[in-house]
Amino acid sequence: MRWTTILLGYDFDIEYVNTTKFGQACGLSSLMQKHQMEIEDIVIASVENYVCTLLKECIRRIPVTVDDVESYMRTDRVIRKVISCVKSGK
């Protein structure tokens, strides 16, 4: 999840390459298995996992459904204007 957020700041294309055409693919994963995780990475992963779990639990307890939000968005003038601007690129 942390890498996803970091990568959002870049413009790139993802391309599938079959491993028969990319001989070093297995080597990369082997190197990662031998690499020791640093304490900072372990702490970040632990905190990230905790925050995701907490967020999911909070969302589960919200007394509002997706249908409620959609219904409100259809009737709210400002939100409709924002959606219109986003869709038209203005």
State pLDDT tens for residues 39-68.
Answer: 787 788 888 889 888 988 888 888 888 899
CA atoms within 13 A on the CB side of 10: 8
Helix (H, G, I), strand (E, B) or coil at 77: helix
What per-residue confidence (pLDDT) applies to 35?
A: 60
For 5, the enclosing helix (H) or strand (E) is: helix 2-7
* pTM of the shown model: 0.34
CA-CA distance, 9 to 5, in Å (whole number)? 8
What per-residue confidence (pLDDT) applies to 75?
A: 92
- Ordered by start, the domain boundaries in the chain are 2-88
